Structure 1
Amino acid sequence: MTVAVITSKDPEFSKPFIDVDEWKDEPVRHRYVHGGFEGTDCKFSFYFPPPEQYEGRFFQPVLPMSGIEFAASIGVLYGIAGSIDFAVNSGAYLVESNLGRATPFPGDDPSVAGFRASAAVARYSRLVAAEMYGDHRPYGYVYGGSGGSLKTIAGIESTRDVWDGAVPFVMGIPVSMPNTFSIQALALRILKDKFDQIIDNLEPGGTGDMFAGLSTYEREVLAETTRLGFPPAAWFDHVRLARGYTGVWSVLADNIIRFDPGYFEDFWTTPGYLGYDAPQSLAEARIQHKTTITQVLYAADAKELGLPLPMAMPRGTANELPCGLRVAEAPEGHVLGATVKFTSGACEGHNMYLVGNRDDIIMTGVGEAHFENLDGLAAGDEVLIDNSNYLAFQTYHRHQVDPDFEIFDQFTVGGAPVYPQRPNPIGPRMARQGMGSNESGRFACKMIVVQTLMDEAAFPWQALWYRKKVEAQLGDKIDDQYRLWYVEHAMHTGAEPIAGLAMADTTPSRRTRMVSYLGVLQQALRDVAAWAERGIAPPASTACECVDAQVRVPATAAERRGTQAVVHLTVNGGQRAEVRAGDAVTFDALIEVPLGAGAVVEAKWDFDGTGEYPISEDCFDGSLTRMRATQTHTFDQPGTYFPALRVTNQREGDLSTPYGRIMNLGRVRVVVR
């Protein structure tokens, strides 16, 4: 092990060491360096390309949660442009760290995981790079999504000499947590039996009226959710959302309870809260179920059974902490999010959270307050499965009205809140805990923000809130430093099935409803580098307007701008066609690429909703910025189909490269009798 002493602007990170230094050939040739800082939990990994491929820069992905510094080595970063091969192909070395923490939790000093560890690792990487490539200062670019966007912004706002550019994506703001998840959970409970009809009305060729057929209370909840910014088109994925974001609750719950312990009692006992005079739907949803553990399940057991692992598993404990329990009698009803309280045995007084269930198995997630106290959990221990706190959480946003955010106006009359307010809104506190600072909009480098228009967790309007912060700092000079690109038909994560959720694809396939934003991220990183290093300005920000917390973009590429092609698809001249089996159906598409965003390099058709896109157009030469595509298809079986055309544009018009491939799609409806 090599230990060095460096002069650091952060004395806590002054003794770096290297314990692994070797060349690897997969996925591409690179030098792998692993190490850390003595006296801290901070660990890092560097991935250096051969000298002949190096162009003087590094990319540094920042994950939402701490605890792992080798994510690129195991492919975890692929979907967020953190692959080793992409960095090398871009002339960059890749930097990652565990954010200074061995667990997913921020600890007593959130500035460590927020930005200080990342900055220390970036600075030290420059010394190692100079030793390898010769004396120089590598340009550095930091990027992160979701909670990682907060850390990215904290880094560039809290330092001035570390990074030359940043790409925050699917970004959150001070009121994101816990409000986006509380309103989502409320809607998932109240509307669980109505999502199919809601989506059918919103789909191409539908009525457009998502409220049709809903009860008064269901309409109110859907309106409340939409006015807070949830994009209604994302409800097609409600089954995955219910599973995945219950896992988020398990990560947040302990801190919400710690920050505001009185709320969860007030909800059920105090006038003005929904639980005090609970409506029938809430009373029926409440579950308090006693049972006994018959088997404790760990990671190896879960893998064998095809069960998902919890979202937040502290480093090195995957085989030590339970990720599921078999119980003598499984609870009935909607139990996701319930607290699993241990009422006997070695873990009495501690708890986990129920994030999934199958037969007599409950899958569990763990929060910050209890993960170190779960040794000794055993068969025979008694548990109470109680969803009272999760039900209370679902309307928490009503009691945190922030007058600085228009989304909360629906909970006020004449400027006064309708509901009792909590003494201290916890959203900003949770944001500070995640980033170690407050967002100011003040930074000295270049920035490109990537936000998606179907984001179910970082609502699209949230990027506009931060842009106003930047405008307040930069004024009419904003275009010299900042861009905001919206990605149509993209959600918080990619279109592929989520690893670990053990869930089947939807019908029609998710891949015919949405696209990955990976290509946009890759291009944003290359563009922010060209902007910082050579003064080459990237394509303009996406034009948009925000009405009732819903972001809308213009219909044409010339008006919309940004970096994503626009697809206009029709079937028999409209958005919907009703035909007989065996009739020929004509599809026509107009594809346009915004100025400076490259050329169309691929267009593929999927008529049956499988997500395979088996039919390709073959007219591309790397120069087309506007084109029409036409296909005729015959449906042999009756049913309702949602054919899709997926289009890819690439900045250089390169038909063969796997990088910077920016996708969009068009969809229509065909009803076959």
Structure 2
Amino acid sequence: MIMPLSTYSGVFNDKQFNQPYIDIDEWRDDPVRYHYIHGGFTGTNARFSFFYPEASQYQGRFFHFMAPVQGSENAAVGRPGVENKIAFAVSHGAYFVETNMGVDQPFVPISDSTLIPRASAAAAEYSREIAQQIYGPHRPFGYLYGGSGGGYKTMILFENSAVWDGAVPYVIGTPMSIPYQFTVRAHARRILRHKMHLIADAVEAGGKGDIYAGLNQEEQDALREITRMGFPLRNWFMHRDLDDGSLPVLTPAVDLMDPGYYQDFWTVPGYLGADPDGSAVRDRIYYETTVAGVIMPGTSTEPVDTDTMSGVDEAWQRVRGDSVLAGKTWLRLEQMPAEDAYIYGTLLTVLSGEAAGLAVPLESLQAGAVSVGAGFGIANMAEMLQKIRPGDHVRLDNSDYLALQTYHRHQLPAAGYEPWDQYRDAEGNPLYPQRPAIIGTGLAASGCHKLQSGLFEGKMIVVASLQDEAAFPWNADWYRRLVRENKGGHEEDYFRIWYTDHALHGDLEHMPYEHHIVSYLGTLHQALLDVSDWVERGIEPPASTNYIVKDGQVSTPASAADRLGLQPTVQLWVNGGECARVKAGDKLHFTAVAELPAGTGRLVAAAWNFDGKPGFPIKGELASLNGDGCRAELSADYTYAMSGTYFATLRVQASRQGTADDIFTQIYELARVRVVVETA
């Protein structure tokens, strides 16, 4: 049994957090055996959870996770498979630390911007006190990590405290990421909503590559704008499911910090809304009507545990108003929007009846009805929706949501953010009217008191994704340049950056679009192990990924020897090219070369998918695998019986250990080719 200390004696001695207590002290066995300690600091809302391995497993370190959104100290509990942070830590000789960062609810105003850093540091130091009681006198090494919003926190805390010895921020943004990388995405989605499939086909394997073919001038301009802002071109493959991300959650920040913007957008020359011939005026919806019918989905039989929603793509969804519903709510209106109307984000406000005052976002228009969106922050949304009745008077208005979509044009930062240079003339002057203040930097600093400086002691590895749709890939390079500047141009003794190709923002084991996308969790976990080896044993990690940034797009070399980093490379051909046209029944020959940067492990597996159905059912043979396991050739023959367009995919797998035994450190890459099969 652990004895709570009467005072807190760590090197980070904070008077607000010097009276820790423990209210749970027990052994648990799921998914691995660990000693669970839960507690907090008296007189505060700060809570912590510590997960200690058995003494025989312990190697003198801890991994401390920073979730994107504060409010839960048990978000890691119950995560499946490779996503289980507790199992990863314990099985690799570390204890695991998670806190609510001093806040008991997500998305609540924090009056003290130093609260998150101080509460997190106090918990980390107190975990060391307990570790000494369990394992004997020593100072555990500590490693901080987190992604997206948790990446912001990781960088700020590591830069401004000596509590941790190393850090692994992942899929990170800059002070100019939110809300702008979502506003530009929303604008492009609206303008390009009828042409996104053309762009997707152009950038797909075997495509013609001309992304502007078939687009009018307005559409070309929107595509050029979002491309230069950094949205990865290859991501248009997911156009059917691409939404506006966390923009609805960030909208209140604009309402609060720049309330005059919406009026100016529609009235002041230089704003898109003030152009009578512009797309905003064309797509604007503003009218009143009555409800003709309500289709409610009923209440979900599987309540959502929002405390465990700690992933970078799900943390902000903890405040969904529709989380208790089993599906979408649909409304039929006496006067429906036009069939081609831009309905997404339109605010429907109930003006009469029992639900009067309820304002909910709309999402889509189908079969003569409009669907209600997630309703972020509307706590009683399901209850209020049930009160809507036919005959209730409602107003539809998308004015503010349209205005948000070009907000980034009026928020030019100082030098150092090249994607924003597209909004300046040749002399460097803004092309559009500018707002009184830049809210992005305020949002970035609001959680942890400061902005990134790039100045830190210790070691850091940044993990980034080349197809990150939320924190655009150049964001990680922005931080690298900041570090390089502070390290006198020699960051290699302190810093690495590893990009994962074909990876999105989300930190899931099983990513959607499995024939386009791989998970980066293997790279993330290996980075934590490598940064600990760097700190504790002086073993330098593999070199940073080689890449170039041009016009907002990040690209890497094709060969592993040139690309470096951790991820293998795959080059795939069908009948010698990226696209083959054959008759049904013709045999096709697929060849590939897989390579791994020297010294990063071995290739361990490969698998094929030829027809686009779920999974990778056909095992690939790693032929001609060289002595160090870093290069292999693969081949396969396949025949399509039916006409159609197919995309064949090869996925390869590598690991530092050279086996597939450690599920947490498997690193993947894939390649695709196009096959057009005509009727025989």
> How far is 1:354 from its partner?
4.3
> How far is 1:6 from its partner?
2.7
Q: Secondary structure at the match of 1:397?
A: helix
Q: How far apart, CA to CA, are the structure 2 residues paired with 1:433 and 1:372? A: 27
Q: Secondary structure at the match of 1:418?
A: coil
Q: Secondary structure at the match of 2:241?
A: helix
Q: Is the 8 A contact 1:17 1:35 kept in 2?
A: yes
> How far is 1:255 from its partner?
1.1
Give runs of aligned pairs for residues 387-398 of structure 1, distance below 5 A: 387-398=398-409
In structure 2, what residue type is equivalent to 1:132?
I
> How far is 1:352 from its partner?
4.8
**Alpha carbons of structure 1 residues 104 and 531: separation in structure 2 relative to 1, 3 Å:** same
Q: Is the 8 A contact 2:303 2:324 kept in 1?
A: no
In structure 1, what residue type is equivalent to 2:492?
D
In structure 1, what residue type is equivalent to 2:347?
T
**Alpha carbons of structure 1 residues 128 and 317: separation in structure 2 relative to 1, 3 Å:** farther
Q: Is the 8 A contact 1:356 1:364 kept in 2?
A: no
Q: How far apart, CA to CA, are the structure 2 residues paired with 1:118 and 1:33? A: 16
**Alpha carbons of structure 1 residues 426 and 552: separation in structure 2 relative to 1, 3 Å:** same
1:535 maps onto 2:538 in alignment: yes
Partner of 1:366: 376
**Alpha carbons of structure 1 residues 106 and 544: separation in structure 2 relative to 1, 3 Å:** farther
Give runs of aligned pairs for residues 50-65 of structure 1, distance below 5 A: 50-65=54-69
> How far is 1:572 from its partner?
0.6
Decide which of 321, 326, 335 is 2:343's aligned counterpart. 335
Q: Secondary structure at the match of 1:171?
A: coil
Q: How far apart, CA to CA, are the structure 1 residues paired with 2:53 and 2:508? A: 30
Partner of 1:259: 257
Q: Secondary structure at the match of 1:241?
A: coil
Q: How far apart, CA to CA, are the structure 1 residues paired with 2:295 and 2:316? A: 18
Q: How far apart, CA to CA, are the structure 1 residues paired with 2:522 and 2:539? A: 19
Q: How far apart, CA to CA, are the structure 2 residues paired with 1:416 and 1:312? A: 36
Q: How far apart, CA to CA, are the structure 2 residues paired with 1:43 and 1:672? A: 60
Partner of 1:168: 169
Q: How far apart, CA to CA, are the structure 2 residues paired with 1:206 and 1:495? A: 29
**Alpha carbons of structure 1 residues 293 and 83: separation in structure 2 relative to 1, 3 Å:** farther
Partner of 1:501: none
In structure 1, what residue type is equivalent to 2:266?
W
Partner of 1:641: 646
1:407 maps onto 2:410 in alignment: no
Q: How far apart, CA to CA, are the structure 2 residues paired with 1:99 and 1:293? A: 47
Q: Is the 8 A contact 1:139 1:163 kept in 2?
A: yes
Q: How far apart, CA to CA, are the structure 2 residues paired with 1:39 and 1:316? A: 30
Q: How far apart, CA to CA, are the structure 1 residues paired with 2:17 and 2:292? A: 45
**Alpha carbons of structure 1 residues 326 and 205: separation in structure 2 relative to 1, 3 Å:** closer
Q: How far apart, CA to CA, are the structure 1 residues paired with 2:46 and 2:350? A: 33
Decide which of 432, 446, 451 is 2:445's aligned counterpart. 432
> How far is 1:619 from its partner?
4.5
> How far is 1:35 from its partner?
1.9
Q: How far apart, CA to CA, are the structure 2 residues paired with 1:539 and 1:159? A: 26
Q: Runs of 5+ in structure 2 lacking a partner? A: none
**Alpha carbons of structure 1 residues 360 and 416: separation in structure 2 relative to 1, 3 Å:** closer
**Alpha carbons of structure 1 residues 394 and 322: separation in structure 2 relative to 1, 3 Å:** farther
> How far is 1:431 from its partner?
0.6
Q: Is the 8 A contact 1:342 1:351 kept in 2?
A: yes
> How far is 1:231 from its partner?
0.6
Q: Secondary structure at the match of 1:282?
A: helix
Structure 1, 98-107 or 267-276: larger mean CA deviation: 98-107
Structure 1, 65-74 or 335-344: larger mean CA deviation: 335-344
> How far is 1:592 from its partner?
0.8
- Deviation string 1:256-281 (CA, Å, 9 cap, x unpaired) is 11011110111111111111124364
**Alpha carbons of structure 1 residues 660 and 423: separation in structure 2 relative to 1, 3 Å:** same
Give runs of aligned pairs for residues 123-522 of structure 1, distance below 5 A: 123-160=125-162, 162-242=163-243, 245-246=244-245, 248-279=246-277, 281-288=279-286, 290=288, 291=290, 300-301=299-300, 312=316, 327=331, 329=333, 332=337, 333-341=341-349, 343=351, 351-354=359-362, 359=369, 361-367=371-377, 379-380=387-388, 383-404=394-415, 405-413=417-425, 414-493=427-506, 510-522=513-525
Q: How far apart, CA to CA, are the structure 1 residues paired with 2:602 and 2:423? A: 46
Q: Is the 8 A contact 2:604 2:660 kept in 1?
A: yes
Q: TM-score, normalised by structure 2?
A: 0.89
Q: Secondary structure at the match of 2:222?
A: helix
Q: How far apart, CA to CA, are the structure 2 residues paired with 1:133 and 1:304? A: 39
Q: Is the 8 A contact 1:321 1:375 kept in 2?
A: no
Q: How far apart, CA to CA, are the structure 2 residues paired with 1:638 and 1:319? A: 42
Decide which of 91, 94, 97 is 1:95's aligned counterpart. 97
1:557 maps onto 2:567 in alignment: no
Q: Runs of 5+ in structure 1 lacking a partner? A: 499-504
Q: Is the 8 A contact 1:99 1:112 kept in 2?
A: no
Q: Secondary structure at the match of 1:459?
A: coil
In structure 2, what residue type is equivalent to 1:410?
Q
Q: How far apart, CA to CA, are the structure 1 residues paired with 2:657 and 2:454? A: 32
- Deviation string 1:122-168 (CA, Å, 9 cap, x unpaired) is 111111222111222111111111111100001101212x1111111
Structure 1, 649-658 or 277-286: larger mean CA deviation: 277-286
1:589 maps onto 2:592 in alignment: yes
Q: How far apart, CA to CA, are the structure 1 residues paired with 2:35 and 2:295? A: 41
Partner of 1:502: none
Q: How far apart, CA to CA, are the structure 1 residues paired with 2:534 and 2:437? A: 41
The percent identity for this pair of structures is 43
Q: How far apart, CA to CA, are the structure 1 residues paired with 2:53 and 2:297? A: 38
Decide which of 608, 611, 615 is 1:608's aligned counterpart. 611
> How far is 1:392 from its partner?
0.5
**Alpha carbons of structure 1 residues 59 and 315: separation in structure 2 relative to 1, 3 Å:** farther
Q: Secondary structure at the match of 2:37?
A: strand
Q: How far apart, CA to CA, are the structure 2 residues paired with 1:634 and 1:343? A: 61
Q: Is the 8 A contact 2:364 2:370 kept in 1?
A: no
Q: Is the 8 A contact 2:622 2:632 kept in 1?
A: no
**Alpha carbons of structure 1 residues 591 and 100: separation in structure 2 relative to 1, 3 Å:** same
Q: How far apart, CA to CA, are the structure 1 residues paired with 2:371 and 2:64? A: 39
In structure 2, what residue type is equivalent to 1:401?
L
Q: How far apart, CA to CA, are the structure 2 residues paired with 1:321 and 1:590? A: 48
Q: Is the 8 A contact 2:349 2:360 kept in 1?
A: yes
Number of matched pairs: 652
Partner of 1:111: 113
> How far is 1:596 from its partner?
1.7
- Deviation string 1:174-216 (CA, Å, 9 cap, x unpaired) is 1101110000001111111211111111112111111111111
In structure 2, what residue type is equivalent to 1:406?
E
How much is the aligned-residue C-alpha RMSD, in angstroms? 3.1
**Alpha carbons of structure 1 residues 496 and 519: separation in structure 2 relative to 1, 3 Å:** closer
**Alpha carbons of structure 1 residues 346 and 111: separation in structure 2 relative to 1, 3 Å:** farther
Structure 1, 217-226 or 285-294: larger mean CA deviation: 285-294
Structure 1, 26-35 or 418-427: larger mean CA deviation: 26-35
Q: Secondary structure at the match of 2:113?
A: helix
Q: TM-score, normalised by structure 1?
A: 0.90
**Alpha carbons of structure 1 residues 350 and 118: separation in structure 2 relative to 1, 3 Å:** farther
**Alpha carbons of structure 1 residues 159 and 128: separation in structure 2 relative to 1, 3 Å:** same
Q: Secondary structure at the match of 1:52?
A: coil
In structure 2, what residue type is equivalent to 1:461?
W
Q: Is the 8 A contact 1:106 1:434 kept in 2?
A: no
Q: How far apart, CA to CA, are the structure 2 residues paired with 1:373 and 1:38? A: 35
Q: How far apart, CA to CA, are the structure 1 residues paired with 2:238 and 2:448? A: 29
> How far is 1:250 from its partner?
2.0
